[in-house]
Structure 1
Amino acid sequence: MLKKQILVFLLMMIFTVKSSYSQCAMCKAVVENGDVSMAEGVNNGITYLMVFPYLLIGILFYVIYRYKKKAKN
């Protein structure tokens, strides 16, 4: 049963790659038509936007850890 689920998951990942690859046409157009500083700006913006979800998840796990540690005492 687990092997079948893994196979279905892998097949779904393979067949959805093209649609997920082509989601950001505007970013691609800016990078292709712009200069190096524009490409660096887009990369910095993506990095900036990517930091906040990881921070929120880290804070959530820290709060859960602290709550469970207090519950043990």
Structure 2
Amino acid sequence: MKRVTYLFFAIAFGLMVLSVVPAKAQCAMCTATVESNSKSGNHATKGLNSGILYLLAAPYLAVAACGFIWYKKYRRKNVALDMRSEKLNLN
């Protein structure tokens, strides 16, 4: 069952990576402002789409960093087991 889960996640991740589609992340109000400013000759609005994508990625990176720190802090450590070398008599 564990292998099937890992295989499923590997296939899903591979499909997400391979099916990247360029996106234009602008709301309706931002689009209207950019269109009106670009028609009037203002060239300061060229980086707006990249800025919105940058702001969109920030929360995902923060959650990923917290998850990585949690994994490193709470994962199972190698524990030395001090067991006797004698055989156990269960009778």
TM-score where L is the length of structure 1: 0.49
More helix by share: 1
TM-score where L is the length of structure 2: 0.41
Instruction: Tell me which of the two structures has the higher relative contact order, counting C-alpha pairs closer than 8 angstroms and 6 or more residues apart.
Output: 2
